Amino acid sequence: MSLFKQKLPQIRLATAVAAAALLSGCAVGPDYLRPSTWLPDYFRETPPAAVAEARSEAPINPTWWTLFGDSTLDNLVQQAIDANQDLQAAIARLEAAEAAARESGADYLPRVDLAANSTNSRNSGETFNGQKSGGPTTYGNRRAALSLSYEIDLWGRIRRNNEAARADALASRFGRDSVQLTLVGQVANEYLALRSLDAQLEVTQDSLTSREKTLKIVNARLDAGAASSLEQAQAESAYAAAQAQWNQLRRQRAISESQIGLLTGQPGLKLAAANLDKLPVPPVPPAGLPSSLLEARPDVRQAEEKLIAANARIGVAKAAYFPTISLTGLYGSESQALSNLFTNSASIWSAALGLSMPVFDAGRTSARVDQATASQKENLANYRKTLQSAFKEVNDALVNLREYADEEAANASQVKAAQRALTLSQARYEAGYSGFMDVLDAQRTANSAQLQYLASRKNRLGAAVDLFKALGGGWQVAAK
């Protein structure tokens, strides 16, 4: 019996340590579970029969813009990634979030501080402790000590706070990726617009040459008495209209070039002219693209990480209901003389276990829990909306890609027919079999058909860019 009494304090200590260890494994607040989204398994424009096969054949392509096969575009994208200021700001936000996560992680470990001081004081010789003193007295004090403070995370407040900080850092990382994806899409679209303007300038230049030739023919016929002044005025008007169109397109190209310079961080950028027809058509997306590809979109992943952080902060708020237990300690030396500061007799130490628990806070903790819960609900709604918007964007891009391809084919046929009609009308006019209005109509029709074809070509390529962006980076078919 006496042995049991002797061991009783040790048993109590071991029991307390075991209980603390068990409690440290739990954390208040809800654990995160990915919410249901109620999205279809496949996109509307793809047949469901191909979904199962496509799941293993359509991973995300991180360099999707290279599918256009244009070295100038590749260089512009790289320059934008290196020098765009919006992206640099997003990178800085990421660095700040990662630093905040590291700071939060430091709460897992005890904090140790070093404090040292030296003081001298002189008491009055006339009064000391309320009595007459024999003379002034000088006192000295030298002190150096290490202090330790540590919070025992019984209720998981620190763990939940770190969970939220890590999620915030990941959200910033995906926010940077989202900015980069948007930036690359803007560069690609603006570059395609520039190339479209180059092609339109080329068409307009051909129209100017054709109308100048027609004007010379009309003037020659007028001198020969075979044409009227009305035909001459009509020819001059058609030539001036083409000239105005040329000037307008040059203005638009200069503005587009300037916008690319801003996106790539290169003010004053100059790009040589090229033809849009030289750009290859990007590959057609594989059948049965699964909607699970949306999970790779950086904005979707960013929204989910924000939801994870908001969910963890409910636990942080709820931990305030429970007591906070902390350990503090001090070890050092103290003496009047500096020479005796580190002797054995000058050593000092202290150790303490502290507990604090709210008794009455007028509902503050409950209000904070309600705020955290409401924030989690808001982030849940934002996450679901982001997914639903992403699904819509992919469907819309697939529709546009298909319809613009059909529109481009129809416009290509129209261009061939319009060019043939223009050639016939010019030959008939020069032979005197038809009036000049037929030539003017044929010229306008041919010019309009060519511009419409270029617009549909540009729109088709732009739809491919939109699909790449909507999927978070396009697709790549696995080798068989």
pLDDT tens for 58-110 read 456 788 898 888 899 999 999 999 999 999 999 999 999 999 999 999 998 89
| pLDDT the model gives residue 370 | 95
Calculate the alpha carbon distances from 370 to 3, 28, 86, 321, 375 in Å: 53, 15, 35, 13, 9
Contact between residue 400 and residue 466 where contact means Cβ atoms under 8 Å apart: yes
DSSP assigned state of 129: T
Which parts of the chain register pLDDT below 70? Answer: 1-25, 42, 44-60, 124-136, 276, 283, 287-288, 474-480
Residue 440 in domain: yes
Does 424 map to a domain?
yes
Quote the CA–CA distance of 265 and 75 in Å, as a whole number: 13
106 within domain boundaries: yes
Burial readout 2-41 (b: 16 or more C-beta within 10 A, e: otherwise): eeeeeeeeeeeeeeeeeeeeeeeeebbbeebeeeeeeeee
Which pLDDT score is estimated for 1? 45
Structure tokens of 127? 């009064």
Confidence at residue 214, expressed as pLDDT on a 0 to 100 scale? 86
Dihedral sign computed on CA atoms, order 294, 298, 302, 305: positive
- Answer whether 214's CB lies under 8 Å from 128's CB: no
In this structure, what CATH number is given to the domain that contains residue 298?
1.20.1600.10
Phi and psi, residue 29, nearest 5°: 95, 160
- Give the pLDDT of residue 278: 72
* Of 475, 88, 464, 11, nearest in space to 287 by CA: 475
Quick check: is 349 in a domain? Answer: no
Angle, helices 436-470 vs 364-430, to 10°: value is 150
CA dihedral 291, 296, 299, 305 (to 10 degrees): 110
Q: Which helix (H) or strand (E) holds 353?
A: strand 347-356
Residue 287 · residue 50 · CB < 8 Å: yes
Task: Count CA atoms within 13 Å of residue 282 on its CB side.
Answer: 29
Q: Is residue 477 part of a domain?
A: no
Q: Is residue 329 part of a domain?
A: no
Tally of structural domains, the chain: 1
**Looking at the domain assignment, is residue 277 inside a domain?**
yes
Rg (CA), the chain: 39
The pTM of this model reads 0.81
> Which of 243, 204, 235, 206 is closest to 218 using CA atoms?
235
Is residue 84 domain-resident?
yes
Residue 109's domain comprises 26-116+153-324+363-470
**117-161 pLDDT, tens digit each:** 888 887 766 665 545 555 567 777 888 888 999 998 889 899 999
Residue 46: predicted pLDDT: 57
